[in-house]
């Protein structure tokens, strides 16, 4: 592990958090991960980004890294603090593990 990299480290190793950016940004992030010698990559997302996370996993495994296979998928519920009301609300999350 190189600690001199200038990029911000992910919150968990080998994990790509999918948000609102275009799908290909995250596909590229996953490919970079794999090219750095990792044999696994985990794609995570919450709320409406879940659809995009599935897209990322599919584009990756079907087009750019066909040796990658979906190893496991899990869904969960996370509690987040609402920005508007300040109360807690539930948001669904997904975690897709891919490996070769």
Task: Give 48-89 as a DSSP string.
Answer: THHHHHHHHHHHIIIII-TT-EEEEEEEEEEEEE-TTT-SEE
Q: Is 58 in the site for a second copy (CB under 8 A)?
A: yes
Q: Is 18 in the site for a second copy (CB under 8 A)?
A: no
Nearer to a second copy, 36 or 89 (CB): 89
Q: Which stretch binds a second copy (CB under 8 A): 8-16, 28-36, 55-63, 81-89?
A: 55-63
Question: Contacting a second copy (CB under 8 A), which of 13, 39, 48, 71?
Answer: 48
**How many CB atoms sit inside 10 A of residue 9's CB?**
9
The burial class, CB within 10 Å (0-12 / 13-18 / 19+), for 82 is exposed
* Binding site residues, a second copy, CB under 8 A: 47-51, 54-55, 57-58, 62, 70, 73-77, 90, 92-94, 96
């Amino acid at each position: 592990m190189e600690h001199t990299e200038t990029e911000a480290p992910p919150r968990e190793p080998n994990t790509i958090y999918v948000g609102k950016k275009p799908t290909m940004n995250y596909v590229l992030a996953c490919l970079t991960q794999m090219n750095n010698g990792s044999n696994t990559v985990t794609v995570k997302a919450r709320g409406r980004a879940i659809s995009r996370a599935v897209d990322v996993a599919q584009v990756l495994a079907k087009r750019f890294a066909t040796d990658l296979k979906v190893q496991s998928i899990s869904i969960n519920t996370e509690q987040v603090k609402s920005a508007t009301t300040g109360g807690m609300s539930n948001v669904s999350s997904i975690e897709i593990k891919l490996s070769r």
